[in-house]
A and B are shown apart, each in its own frame.
Chain A
Amino acid sequence: MSDAADQAGAAEPLPPPDAGASGPPPSDTTGAGGTAPDDIRAMLTQVVDPEIPVVTIEELGILRDVTVTDGAAVVTLTPTYSGCPAMDLIRDEIRRVLAAHGIERVELRTVYGPAWTTDWITPAGRVKLESFGIAPPHAAGSSVRPPVACPRCRTAPTRTVSEFGSTACKALMVCESCGEPFDYFKEL
């Protein structure tokens, strides 16, 4: 049960991932070809969510940790939803991007707790979502959803067509003004 031991540490709520390489200095900067975790994070800005290809995995808040242990890059991810079908592709993409930078020894870990929340989507990620036509999520935790603004008209009233949109993380809405259907990234 080595994984349980690994994940026990991750049961502490992690802060939202840093959008840049401005986090605290990494404790282990050796290995993985002498690459520092922050450099690996910078490489991983090339990895996007295949279903929302403008948002990186860091901006989405699913990249939970990057360390270098015994010469291997250890990348920890958490899924947005338990059954997120994009996870396998994202893992493959991480390996491909790191390999392109000469890092072959990669260990990918998945943690479920603390559970991902849309509150971890970074401000930059939210701006990108909206420009992509997806209304960004409201703050998680409230039982009644505040009005969702149409990503095009901004202020117009909208209504929910279905709580389940093109992917599990989105609801299908329609703008009462322009009549355009759009995705809302559901708060979770």
Chain B
Amino acid sequence: MALATDLRAALFTYLIVHGDDNLILAQRLGEWSSRAPDLEDDIALTNIGLDHLGQARALLAYAGEVEGAGRDEDLLAFRRSEREYRNALLVEQPNGDYAQTMARQLFFDAYQLSLWEALSVSTDATLAGIASKALKEARYHYRHSGTWVVRLGDGTDESHRRMQAGVDAMWRFVGELFTRTAETEPLVASGIGFDPTPWKSDWDERITAVLAQATLSVPNEPFVRTGGREGLHTEHLGHLLSDLQYMQRTYPGLKW
């Protein structure tokens, strides 16, 4: 399948956008390793993180192939600067307490259900394959995060207070996930990529139901923070990348 040059560039960016979302979230979830409230959830969070890392690896490896400049997934992960990262602001937000991590995860999982479902019928066979695999994973991620949000929201006064605070803190980063970007246009026309805007209503429906069951209120926050998709990040990403990249920055090309 030979792609026109502009389509190739658009696909590269599209793969980077979604690869970065998964890579950065995987790194955040990995930070919970040995620090989760109990052993089972320590294992759960790192397992979910591993799924996201695998999805990131597949997308970034394919991005490198599409780019055709000799960059593999490791070079793309370890040797790009903060401004070249295109992940949404939501996934780079600090873990906070367990409730905030669960709010971030629930919001992202609910979005990924729509994303992977759409991409699993992409006209690009490689992307469709990655998505059909990831969709299965997003389903049980969503079950896990939803269960926790309900348990904490409908739990003790303290857990309810913290869960609501987590939901409130993450809410303003949601809108960006459903923002259509210019690079996506040619991909939408050819059925490779999709406009995320229409997925918001499904997301609203899912999240409203979970929050209701969790006895949490839906935040009334009209303000939407954006910038990640253009490479303009919150201060947190730089710190995360310094942790993620220091070894390959210090010893470029180092092999284990």
Contact = CB atoms under 8 A, between A and B. Distances in A.
B40 A113 contact: no
Nearest to A5: B1
A51 to B, nearest CB: 13
Given A1-B1, A8-B125, A113-B128, A82 B140 contact: no
Contacts of B51: 81-83, 168
User: Which of B40, B54, B124, B134 has the most chain A CB atoms closer than 10 A to its own CB?
Assistant: B54
Interface stretch (A20-28, A37-45, A119-127, A158-166): A158-166
B105 to A, nearest CB: 13
Contacts of B43: 162, 164-166
Chief secondary structure at chain A's binding surface: loop
Nearest to B43: A164
Interface in B128-142: 128-130, 132-137, 140
A11 B43 CA distance: 33
A164 B137 CA distance: 12
A112 B1 contact: no
Given A112-B129, A115-B136, A168 B55 contact: no
Contacts of A8: 1, 125
B244 interface: no
Interface string A1-36: 101110110110000000000000000000000000
A81 B44 contact: no
Nearest to A79: B54
B193 to A, nearest CB: 14
Chief secondary structure at chain B's binding surface: helix
Contacts of B144: 163-164
Interface string A68-91: 000000000001011111000000
User: Which of B3, B47, B52, B65 has the most chain A CB atoms closer than 10 A to its own CB?
Assistant: B47
A147 interface: no
A185 interface: no
Interface bracket on A: 20 to 34
A5 B124 CA distance: 9
6 contacts: A1-B65, A82-B54, A82-B130, A111-B129, A114-B132, A188-B136
A111 B62 CA distance: 12
Contacts of B134: 82
Interface string A157-188: 00001111111100010000000000000101
Given A82-B130, A115-B132, A168-B47, 4 more contacts: A10-B125, A82-B57, A85-B50, A162-B44
Nearest to A165: B43
Interface bracket on B: 35 or more
Nearest first, the 7 closest Cβ-Cβ pairs linking A and B are: A113-B129, A83-B54, A82-B54, A162-B40, A83-B50, A112-B129, A164-B44
B165 interface: no
A106 B98 CA distance: 46
Contacts of B135: 115
Given A1-B1, A115-B132, A172-B40, A7 B126 contact: yes
Contacts of A163: 44, 140, 143-144
A116 B47 CA distance: 18
Nearest to A161: B40
Contacts of A85: 50
A12 to B, nearest CB: 10
A148 to B, nearest CB: 16
Given A161-B40, A164-B40, A164-B43, A3 B126 contact: yes
B2 A81 contact: no
